Amino acid sequence: MTMNKKVLIVDDDVDLIQMYQPVLVKAGYECQVAYDANEGMQAFEQFLPDVMFVDLNMEHFDSGFLLCHKVKQTEHGKEIPVIIMTAAGHETGIRFSTKTEEEKQWIKADDYLEKPISARDLVQYLNEKIFKQHAD
């Protein structure tokens, strides 16, 4: 039995976290959460997740960008996928992308997911894109 992969979700949407966390745990992931960028950085440093999901717009409109930038400057942060999860594309009309290295450098994230994303789709994303293991 391999150790559970550790997932950190940083999002100020309590309802969303309450929807995701039990589904991720049931799928075999160890899941920790934080509700703002400062908590997120502390949780990152203590939990050392295998993957991190960060909401873009928390206490400030760019909190998620700043958190991703801080995380990516750490040794551990350079080793793990950091994924921005946001509805900002819907709200602002701005399209985010991480298709090129330049975009990844600018966004300071490895991927980008458009919210809303269902808990089931999030598990599928983790299984197929991040950890490339197949659910039974």
116-125 pLDDT, tens digit each: 899 999 999 9
**Residue indicated by tokens 């039995």:** 1
Q: Is 56 within the bounds of a domain?
A: yes
Are 82 and 55 in contact, with CB atoms under 8 Å apart?
Answer: no
The answer to whether residue 46 scores a pLDDT higher than 80 is yes
- pLDDT value, residue 112: 85
- Within 8 A by CB and 6+ apart from 27, the residues are 123, 126, 127, 135
**C-alpha distances in angstroms, 41 versus 100, 120, 128?**
26, 26, 26
Give the per-residue pLDDT at 1: 41
CATH of the domain at 82: 3.40.50.2300
> What single-letter amino acid sits at 39?
E
Residue 133 inside a domain? The answer is no
Is 121 inside any structural domain? yes
pTM of the predicted protein model: 0.86
7-37 pLDDT, tens digit per residue, is: 999 999 999 999 999 999 999 999 999 999 9
Mean pLDDT of 87-105: 61
Number of domains in the chain: 1
State how far Cα 56 lies from the chain centre: 10
- Are 84 and 56 contacting, i.e. CB atoms less than 8 angstroms apart? yes
Domain hosting 52: range is: 6-128
Query: Helices 37-47 and 63-72: crossing angle, nearest 10°?
Result: 30
